[in-house]
Each structure stands twice: as C-alpha cells, then as structure tokens.
Amino acid sequence: MIALWQRLRLWARLVLRDGLALYIAARDPRTPWFAKLLALLVAAYALSPIDLIPDAIPVLGLLDEVILLPIAIALIARLIPAEVMADSRAAAQRMVEKPRSKVGAAIIIGAWVLGLGILLWWVFTR
C-alpha cells in the first residue's frame, strides 16, 4: 500500500512539473501558436472552478483532474518541439524543487486567518 502511495505522489509531482513546463513552453517563441493556444486552454480549465464533471459528485468528480488533465498535458507536450519541452521541463523542475519559505507561508496563513476573523466579526455584529 505504501509503494502505491509513493507512486501516486511521484505521478502527481510529474503532472505538476509537466503542467508548469507547458506554461513555460507556451511563453517560448519557438513554440507553435496552436500549441500555445491549447496550453492556455488547458491551464484555464485546470484553474477554472467550472468542471466538466462537478467535484461534488463522489469519485467521478475527480476524474477530469486525475485522467483528462494529464492526458491533455501529454498530448499538448507532443505538439511542442522536443528541445523546447526539455528546456521547459528542466526549468519547471528547478521551480518545483525550490525550497519553500516558512515565513512566507506563515504570512499567507496569517492573512487568511485575519480575513476570516474580520468576516466572522462583521457577520456576528450585524
């Protein structure tokens, strides 16, 4: 079971890296315009709160993120020249491996807690 969990984590990291690599490749002038357009559409879909299959539906709701997005990323990556994709993957890997700032995370969490506190105060004082 642990080996399966580790493989899933590795797979998720690769999907993240390749999604980021597509974004980087879409900004490269050597990438064809149609690949740039498709990469933009997939990125917009991935970030959009509207899904083909709503996430509220148990199990089925996650299928588009688990199956459709990786397939779309793989297909679009084939439209991008190999050297551009290799450069983009290397740049994405460097970005993914960057150490994360604990101070930055604390500031963001603090901002969310403060915002939630202000919202609750506003709701309960009315």
d(C-alpha 28, C-alpha 82), whole Å: 13
Q: Where are the alpha helices (DSSP H) in 27-101?
A: 33-47, 63, 69-79, 82-97
Q: From first to last of its 126 residues, what are the pLDDT tens digits of the chain?
A: 678 778 877 777 788 888 888 889 999 999 999 999 998 888 777 767 676 777 677 777 777 777 788 888 889 989 999 999 999 999 988 887 777 777 877 888 889 999 999 999 999 988
Give the predicted TM-score (pTM) of the model.
0.64
d(C-alpha 115, C-alpha 4), whole Å: 39
